[in-house]
């Protein structure tokens, strides 16, 4: 299918640090999600997706008007305006909560390259084979059931480091119905936050990423080392009132503003 929209840029989305399963190929990306691997290509005024499944429209958040959002934040201040202009094709993807939670447990005190590698390794070892594209095999992110018997050391072998025990604990929590990842969709933000904070390896920052990337809560504003640096250097905000400032100042789509800032701050 073809999507005509000025506010979709595959490179920007792929490098925005919210998804770890966008693989560059000649003239496009293979995107692994929704139990499938599809090729996406950038067009002059939109993108093409080699699939007719409407799920990809939801995945790419196509129902939201990013034109209006970029316009809103361009008027906020000069720094944000530059960030928005630099990454105006970023969108907040609607991703699977289980995959997002696993991925962002791995992300703690880690770097994007290593996170990407660990997620790839987990998928190759325990995920379902999907298809081969241009000579490379693609595997889905493993289901909780596929990870049921995986011991702690096996996670370590995938390169997740000391986060191995947190992944093991989370998988067991899902298997044993100590948390219902679909059931909690109906909770409001703060209730959802409380549920996620029960998980080992999930603190405030990781929980905010899960709300934003896994549950579509676009007002959440995760503060990581990059964002902290930006708020200090570009906005002159003090460490101890950073959270309050960001939650108020970047309303009502804090998470989207945060992605513009993250992408701009990390790339330039």
CB of 141 to DNA, least distance (A): 17
How far apart are CB 115 and DNA at their closest, in Å? Answer: 7
Pick the closer one to DNA by CB: 185 or 198.
Answer: 198
187-206: contacts with DNA (CB under 7 A): 199-206
Q: Which of 181, 209, 246, 256 binds DNA (CB under 7 A)?
A: 209
Nearer to DNA (CB atom), residue 88 or residue 258: 258
Least distance in angstroms from the C-beta of 223 to DNA: 7
81 binds DNA (CB under 7 A): no
Q: Is 264 in the site for DNA (CB under 7 A)?
A: no
| Residue where the block lists tokens 């840029």 | 9
Kindly write down the DSSP assignment for every residue of the chain, as one continuous string: -EEE-TT--HHHHHTSSS-S-EEEETTEEEEEETTEEEEEEEETTEEEES---THHHHHTTTTS-HHHHHHHHHTT-HHHHHHHHHTTT-------HHHHHHHHHHHTT--HHHHHHHHHHHHHHHSPEEEEETTEEEEPPPPTGGGTT--HHHHHHTT-GGGHHHHHHHHHHHHTTSS-TTGGGGS-HHHHHHHHHTSTT--HHHHHHHHHHHS--TT-----HHHHHHHHHTT---GGGHHHHHHHHTTT-HHHHHHHHHHHHHH-
Q: Taking the complex as a whole, how short is the minimal distance between the CB of residue 10 and DNA, in angstroms?
A: 16
Does 147 interact with DNA (rule: CB under 7 A)? no
Scan residues 103-142 and list those touching DNA (CB under 7 A). Answer: 107-115
Interface segment toward DNA; rule CB under 7 A; list 22-30, 161-169, 171-179, 180-188: 161-169
Q: What's the min distance (Å) between Cβ of 106 and DNA? A: 9
Nearer to DNA, 108 or 147 (CB): 108
Number of amino acids touching DNA (CB under 7 A): 37
Q: What is the largest CA-CA distance in the chain?
A: 52
Rg of the chain on CA atoms, in Å: 18
Which is nearer to DNA, 38 or 193 (by Cβ)?
193
State which residue, 127 or 265, has the beta carbon closest to DNA.
265
The contacts of residue 207 (CB under 8 Å, 6+ apart) are 193, 196, 197
Choose which of 80, 207, 246, 257 interacts with DNA (CB under 7 A): 207
Site for DNA in 233-262 (CB under 7 A): 258-259, 262
Q: Which residues bind DNA (CB under 7 A)?
A: 16-18, 107-115, 156, 159, 161-162, 166, 199-207, 209, 222, 224-227, 229, 258-259, 262, 266
């Amino acid at each position: 299918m073809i999507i005509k929209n000025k506010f979709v840029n595959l490179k920007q989305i792929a490098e925005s640090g919210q998804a770890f399963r966008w693989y560059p190929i000649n003239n496009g990306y293979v995107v692994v999600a929704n139990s499938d691997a599809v090729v996406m290509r950038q067009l002059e005024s939109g993108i093409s997706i080699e699939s007719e499944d409407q799920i990809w429209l939801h995945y790419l958040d196509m129902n939201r008007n990013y034109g209006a959002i970029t316009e809103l934040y361009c008027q906020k201040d000069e720094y944000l305006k530059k960030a928005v202009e630099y990454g105006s094709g970023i969108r907040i993807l609607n991703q699977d909560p289980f995959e997002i939670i696993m991925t962002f447990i791995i992300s703690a005190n880690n770097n994007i390259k290593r996170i990407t590698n660990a997620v790839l390794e987990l998928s190759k070892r325990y995920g379902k084979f999907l298809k081969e594209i241009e000579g490379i095999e693609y595997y889905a992110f493993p289901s909780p059931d596929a990870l049921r018997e995986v011991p702690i050391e096996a996670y370590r072998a995938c390169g997740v480091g000391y986060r191995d025990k947190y992944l093991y604990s989370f998988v067991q929590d899902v298997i044993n119905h100590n948390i219902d990842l679909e059931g909690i969709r109906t909770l409001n933000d703060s209730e959802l936050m409380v549920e996620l904070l029960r998980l080992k390896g999930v603190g405030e920052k990781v929980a905010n990423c899960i709300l934003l990337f896994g549950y579509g809560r676009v007002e959440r504003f995760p503060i990581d080392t990059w964002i902290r640096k930006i708020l200090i250097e570009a906005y002159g905000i003090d460490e101890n009132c950073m959270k309050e400032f960001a939650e108020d100042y970047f309303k009502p789509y804090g998470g989207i503003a945060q992605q513009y800032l993250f992408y701009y701050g990390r790339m330039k």
